[in-house]
Amino acid sequence: MVEAMLASVAAAASFAAYAVRGKSSSLIAPSVWQGDRSKRAVALTFDDGPSESTPALLELLARFDMRATFFMCGANVRRLPIIARQVAEAGHEIGNHTDTHPALYFKSPGFIEQEIVRAQESIAQATGVAPRLFRAPYGVRWPGLRAAQQRHALTGVMWTAIGRDWKLTAPQVADIVLKGARNGAIVCLHDGRALTPTPDIRATLDAVRIIVPALRDQGFTFETVSRIL
Ligand SMILES: [Zn+2]
Query: CB of 80 within 8 A of CB of 88?
Result: no
Distance 48 CA to ligand 1 centre (A): 5
Distance 138 CA to ligand 1 centre (A): 6
> Which residues does 93 contact at the CB level (< 8 Å), separation at least 6?
67, 68, 69, 70, 133, 224, 225, 226
**Strand-pair partners of 162:** 188
pLDDT at residue 1 tops 60: no
Among candidate residues 144, 142, 158, 151, the one with its CA nearest the CA of residue 47 = 158
Residues carrying an active site annotation = 47, 190
Distance 69 CA to ligand 1 centre (A): 13
Q: pLDDT tens digits for 92-111?
A: 999 999 999 999 999 999 99
DSSP, res 154? P
> Which residues does 4 contact at the CB level (< 8 Å), separation at least 6?
none
Identify the band that residue 23 occupies on the pLDDT scale cut at 50, 70 and 90: confident
Distance 163 CA to ligand 1 centre (A): 12
Q: Where are the beta strands (DSSP E) in 3-99?
A: 31-32, 41-49, 69-72, 93-96
